[in-house]
């Protein structure tokens, strides 16, 4: 029934899709291309039906056949072709691009296996990883386009200024339709698959039974698109990742230029008037040197002409400021894999250094500035082995560089890329992230959506989220409050049933649902959350039954994957599970505290958890989370946030007001001094912190977690010594949690805050973000597909 429903929906989409392509072709507008190594599309069926406005029709048709739409849609596999926020952002952006009728589409890779499916070992609490074979039962949403394919070259050498490659594969296009909401426009997500190049197949070797030699190219091709983020600990692993990035860039740039020609364009100096390429972080950086290579070596442009147009065509979005996360590749590896590109990159570098020196001289740099620069230069020269720093290449080649939240974009300018900012301040922008209100409110939470539509007076809020403000006028109205609470309760029930099904844990429905879901990472501080829970548990154990009965009951829910080789993150998962085993089975505690780790967090699970949440945690060390996007989804669904002044939390708090946000922790400028204080041995932790660590060490949770706890204390051999300042923020976190408990006990006050949260979430609609990209970076305008006559 799922296949039948999907085929029927697809048929409706294909017509819109073809019309959109034909219309763009005819109008020949400037078009933007979003290049991303990741997309986290989630299920397509409900979204397509919802965007086409056919939810009622399909529900009815399925009911008449003895099925429910919910059951049918839940069969669909999640396309897990991403890892976290950056991938989900790309998918939200596609939804907004289509909805706003913009001429833009996405390019990615069609990995055979997604990140991994996560399980939990019942006995040890450890994370388990399984291959995510998402294509196993086929994918009704993709259309293979064998006629759209391009050669992708690797290795070899440069002969007379041109590349003589050593190996080749073919990139073949697979397209998925992305329908806009209430519009005929339907754009494409084009994903490349690698196939062996027939010219390389050594038939003679095969017939001589030398299968290994003859199948060499086949193996390379199947490796290229096998998995997302193959381990890059070895040189082979690095070569594979870089090859994947190059394949995305090369195939996409070839395709973009072919389309540009097909539409009758021919003046290369005006390419940027028809094409904008957005690089989602540095992973697609090679798009710039690849464009240069094609323009010079295939199209015959001079260096200057090619450079002039390239630097007006590509733009770069940064998603992290943590130095260790800024991509760099060994220069000799790039040289071996892509010799012609390495020449181009070296020349870009030389010309940049020369022009920067000129700019400096013209400015008659101050003496101390010069000293600093000399020191920097020395550092970079001394780096061994030499590295290609992708973000630097992006800053030099890009027409625009943007961060993803206001505070993040300031950090990018003032610290991360300050040298570049001083040279070209006009390139730097902010584009605060957003999320699509279709998937993340209208479709995932029909219960709350119905209440919203009733009180706002219509459903225009599904695109114009500023309409949600009208809810604020009624925030204290008992009737709205009752409906609001009923919607939340209905979602908590659905969530409770899901938790029971996958973990066998019974969670009480009238407890506060407190959720932290995101990739497991030290900077995101799931560790702080679980230590807070441990402290709470310890306190409760020390209480008399009468005192205990006064506690606000909580269900603490975690979800998220730890990268397979990230040991410390995996220890945190194990601690959470072990705490859960003890707390959930403690008869003294009963329903007052439950700790649940829901395995295999993905888009669909987020759609179950977020509508049910009452409190959510966004508690990264200030200055580390570029933006966060789940914070926006929780806010839209009427959930209150406990959080630090980091990423988009800052702007969310401005919108909801400080009464409706549980703030704690040190601020970004206080972080370095706090680290220095620790390093000097002057930091004295709060007694509650020390007490909590001792409690874990006493063995209450089975294992003593020495390596994990040691990391907080900077013990010999245990890493950087609480680099993310869990100890520093612990007291302030506990105090914020006390304010949460007090607030939750006042049910009317809490519901009012919940309504206010949704009411002032309008800014975080990705339609707003995309409108800004379109106007301020890409220079594209809506190109609306007309109705069929
Ligand atoms: O991008 C995330 C940031 O951490 C979030 O703060 C932000 O909201 C989101 C969207 O802007 N970054 C992210 O997801 N990065 C990665 O997944 C990543 C993947 C591979 C890699 C480095 C980072 N080599």
520: CATH? 3.40.50.2000
Q: Is pLDDT above 70 for 367? A: no
Verify whether ligand 1 is closer than 6 Å to residue 99 (CB atom): no
Q: For a substitution probing ligand 1, which of 228, 281, 319 has the most ligand atoms within 8 Å of its CB?
A: 319
Question: Could you tell me if 525 and 659 lie in one domain?
Answer: yes
Task: Scan for tokens 């401005």, then name that residue.
Answer: 654
* For the CA of 404, the nearest atom of ligand 1: 11
Q: Are residues 623 and 500 in the same domain?
A: yes
Say whether 519 is catalytic.
yes
DSSP H stretches of helix in 714-765: 726-745, 747-759
Q: Give the H/E segment covering residue 217.
A: helix 211-224
Cα dist. 216→430, 452, 536 in Å?
46, 59, 58
DSSP 8-class letter at 681? T
The SS3 assignment for 704 reads: coil
To test the ligand 1 pocket, which listed residue (84, 237, 633, 770) has its Cβ within 8 A of the most ligand atoms? 84
Catalytic residue flag (residue 518): yes
Same domain, 456 and 423: no
Q: Is 543 in the pocket of ligand 1 (CB under 6 A)?
A: no
454 token code pair: 């009733």
Q: Which of 389, 488, 524, 574 is catalytic?
A: 524
Q: Is 319 a catalytic residue?
A: yes
**553, 619: one domain:** yes
Tell whether the model's pLDDT for residue 324 goes beyond 80. yes
Residue 716 is predicted with a pLDDT of: 47
For the chain, the domain total comes to: 2
Say how far apart CA 41 and CA 110 lie, in whole Å. Answer: 12
Task: Compute the distance from residue 607 Cα to the ligand 1 centre, in Å.
Answer: 20
**Rounded average pLDDT over 131-140:** 93
In a domain, 469, yes or no: yes
What is the tens place of the pLDDT at every residue in 483-495?
999 999 999 999 9
Distance 170 CA to ligand 1 centre (A): 29
Question: Which structure tokens are listed for 71?
Answer: 């059951």
What value of ipTM does the predicted structure carry? Answer: 0.98
Residue 708 lies in a domain: no
Q: Please indicate, yes or no, whether residues 456 and 389 belong to a single structural domain of this protein.
A: no
Q: Work out the mean pLDDT of the chain and round it to a whole number.
A: 95
Q: Nearest C-alpha to atom 23 of ligand 1 is from which residue?
A: 325
Share of the chain above pLDDT 90, in %: 90
Question: Ligand 1 centroid vs 540 CA: distance in angstroms?
Answer: 37
Residues 183 and 330 in one domain: yes
Whether 633 is a known active-site residue: answer: yes
pLDDT of residue 736 exceeding 80: yes
Q: Looking at the predicted structure, is the pLDDT value of residue 630 above 50?
A: yes
For 44-67, the pLDDT digits (tens) are 999 999 999 999 999 999 999 999
Q: Does 295 share its domain with 353?
A: yes
**Domain presence at residue 342:** yes
Q: Which residues pair with 178 in a beta bridge?
A: 187
Provide the 3-class DSSP secondary structure of residue 200. Answer: helix
Residue 498 maps to a domain: yes
**Cα 300 from Cα 579, distance rounded (Å):** 65
Same domain, 13 and 51: yes
Query: Is position 165 within any domain?
Result: yes
Does residue 132 fall inside a structural domain? yes
Residues 328 and 464 in one domain: no
Confidence band of 384 (pLDDT split at 50, 70, 90): confident
- Residue 246 placed within a domain: yes
Q: What are the pLDDT digits (tens) for 157-207?
A: 999 999 999 999 999 999 999 999 999 999 999 999 999 988 888 889 999
- Do residue 31 and residue 83 come from a single domain? yes
DSSP 435: B
Instruction: State which H helix or E strand residue 641 sits in.
Output: strand 640-643
Query: Is residue 170 domain-shared with residue 243, that is, in the same domain?
Result: yes
Q: Which domain holds residue 109?
A: 2-365+376-433+772-778
Average pLDDT, integer, range 338-348 = 98
Confidence of residue 359 (pLDDT cuts 50, 70, 90): confident
42 lines ligand 1 (CB under 6 A): no
pLDDT at 718: 55
Please state, for a pLDDT cut of 70, what percent of the chain lies above it: 97
Query: Would the CB of 626 count as within 6 Å of ligand 1?
Result: yes
Question: Quick check: is 689 in a domain?
Answer: no
Within 13 Å, how many C-alpha atoms sit on residue 665's CB side? 30
In terms of Cβ atoms closer than 10 Å to its own Cβ (0-12, 13-18, 19+), residue 29 is: middle
For ligand 1, say whether the CB of 84 is within 6 Å of any of its atoms. yes
For residue 629, indicate whether it is catalytic. Answer: yes
Query: In the structure, what pLDDT confidence band is assigned to residue 86 with cuts at 50, 70 and 90?
Result: very high
Binned at pLDDT 50, 70 and 90, residue 373 comes out as low
Predicted confidence (pLDDT) per residue in 522-552, tens digit: 999 999 999 999 999 999 999 999 999 999 9
78 secondary structure, DSSP code: P
429 and 456 assigned to the same domain: no
Cβ neighbour number for residue 425 with a 10 Å cutoff: 9
Q: How many CB atoms lie within 10 A of CB 370?
A: 11
736 vs 67: CA distance, rounded Å: 46
Distance 84 CA to ligand 1 centre (A): 6
């Amino acid at each position: 029934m799922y296949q039948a429903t999907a085929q029927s929906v697809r048929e409706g989409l294909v017509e819109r899709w073809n019309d959109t392509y034909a219309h763009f072709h005819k109008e020949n507008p400037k078009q933007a291309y979003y290049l991303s190594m990741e997309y986290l599309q989630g299920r397509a069926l409900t979204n397509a039906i919802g965007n086409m406005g056919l939810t009622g029709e399909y529900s009815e048709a399925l009911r008449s056949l003895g099925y429910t739409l919910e059951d049918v849609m839940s069969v669909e596999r999640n396309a897990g072709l991403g890892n976290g926020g950056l991938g989900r952002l790309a998918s939200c952006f596609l939804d907004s691009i289509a909805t706003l009728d913009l001429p833009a589409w996405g390019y990615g890779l069609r990995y055979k296996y997604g990140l991994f499916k996560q399980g939990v070992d019942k006995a040890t609490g450890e994370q388990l990883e399984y291959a995510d074979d998402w294509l196993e039962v086929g994918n009704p949403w993709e259309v293979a386009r064998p006629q759209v394919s391009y050669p992708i070259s690797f290795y070899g050498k440069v002969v007379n200024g041109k590349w003589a490659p050593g190996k080749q594969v073919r990139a073949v296009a697979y397209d998925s339709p992305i329908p806009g909401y209430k519009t005929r426009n339907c754009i494409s997500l084009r994903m490349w698959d690698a196939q062996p190049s027939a010219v390389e197949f050594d038939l003679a070797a095969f017939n001589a039974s030398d299968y290994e030699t003859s199948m060499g190219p086949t193996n390379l091709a199947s490796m290229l698109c096998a998995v997302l983020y193959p381990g890059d600990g070895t040189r082979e692993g690095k070569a594979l990742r870089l090859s994947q990035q190059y394949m995305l860039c090369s195939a996409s740039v070839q395709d973009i230029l072919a389309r540009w020609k097909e539409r009758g364009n021919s003046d290369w100096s005006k390419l940027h008037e028809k094409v904008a390429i957005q690089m989602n972080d540095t992973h697609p950086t090679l798009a710039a040197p690849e464009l240069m290579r094609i323009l010079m070596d295939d199209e015959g442009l001079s260096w200057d002409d090619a450079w002039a147009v390239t630097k007006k065509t590509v733009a770069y979005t940064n998603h992290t400021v943590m130095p260790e996360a800024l991509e760099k590749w060994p220069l000799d590896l790039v040289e071996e894999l892509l010799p012609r590109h390495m020449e181009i990159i070296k020349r870009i570098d030389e010309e940049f250094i020369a022009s920067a020196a000129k700019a400096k001289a013209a400015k008659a740099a101050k003496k101390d500035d010069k000293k600093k620069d000399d020191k920097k230069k020395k550092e970079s020269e001394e780096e061994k082995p030499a590295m290609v720093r992708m973000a630097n290449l992006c800053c030099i080649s890009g027409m625009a560089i943007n961060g993803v939240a206001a505070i993040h974009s300031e950090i990018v300018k003032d610290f991360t890329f300050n040298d570049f900012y001083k040279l070209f301040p006009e390139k730097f922008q902010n584009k605060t992230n957003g999320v699509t209100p279709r998937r993340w409110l209208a479709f995932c939470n029909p219960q709350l959506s119905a209440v919203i539509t009733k009180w706002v007076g219509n459903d225009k809020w599904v695109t114009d989220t500023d309409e949600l403000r009208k809810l604020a006028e009624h925030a204290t109205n008992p009737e709205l409050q009752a409906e609001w609470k009923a919607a939340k309760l209905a979602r908590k029930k659905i969530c409770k049933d899901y938790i029971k099904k996958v973990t066998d844990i019974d969670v009480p429905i009238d407890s506060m649902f407190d959720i932290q879901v995101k990739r497991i990472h030290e900077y995101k501080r799931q560790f702080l959350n679980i230590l807070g829970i441990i402290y709470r548990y310890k306190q409760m154990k020390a209480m008399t039954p009468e005192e205990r009965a006064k506690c606000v009951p909580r269900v603490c829910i975690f979800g998220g994957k730890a990268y397979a080789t990230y040991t410390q993150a995996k220890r945190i998962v194990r601690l959470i599970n072990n705490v859960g085993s003890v707390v959930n089975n403690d008869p003294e505690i009963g329903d007052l505290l439950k700790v649940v780790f829901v395995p295999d967090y993905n888009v669909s699970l987020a759609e179950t958890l977020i509508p049910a949440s009452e409190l959510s945690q966004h508690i990264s060390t200030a200055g580390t989370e570029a933006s966060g996007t789940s914070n926006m989804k929780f806010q839209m669904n009427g959930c209150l946030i406990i959080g630090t002044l980091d990423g988009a939390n800052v702007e969310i708090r401005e919108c909801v007001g400080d009464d409706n946000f549980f703030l704690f922790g040190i601020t970004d400028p206080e972080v370095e001094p706090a680290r220095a204080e620790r390093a000097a041995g002057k930091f004295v932790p709060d007694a509650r912190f020390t007490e909590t660590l001792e409690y874990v060490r006493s063995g209450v949770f089975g294992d003593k977690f020495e390596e994990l706890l040691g990391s907080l204390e900077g013990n010999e051999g245990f890493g950087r010594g609480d680099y993310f300042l869990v100890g520093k923020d612990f007291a302030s976190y506990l105090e914020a949690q006390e304010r949460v408990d007090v607030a939750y006990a006042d049910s009317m006050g809490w519901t009012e805050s919940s309504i206010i949260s949704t009411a002032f979430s309008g800014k975080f609609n990705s339609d707003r973000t995309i409108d800004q990209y379109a106007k301020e970076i890409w220079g594209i305008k809506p190109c609306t597909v007309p109705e069929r006559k």
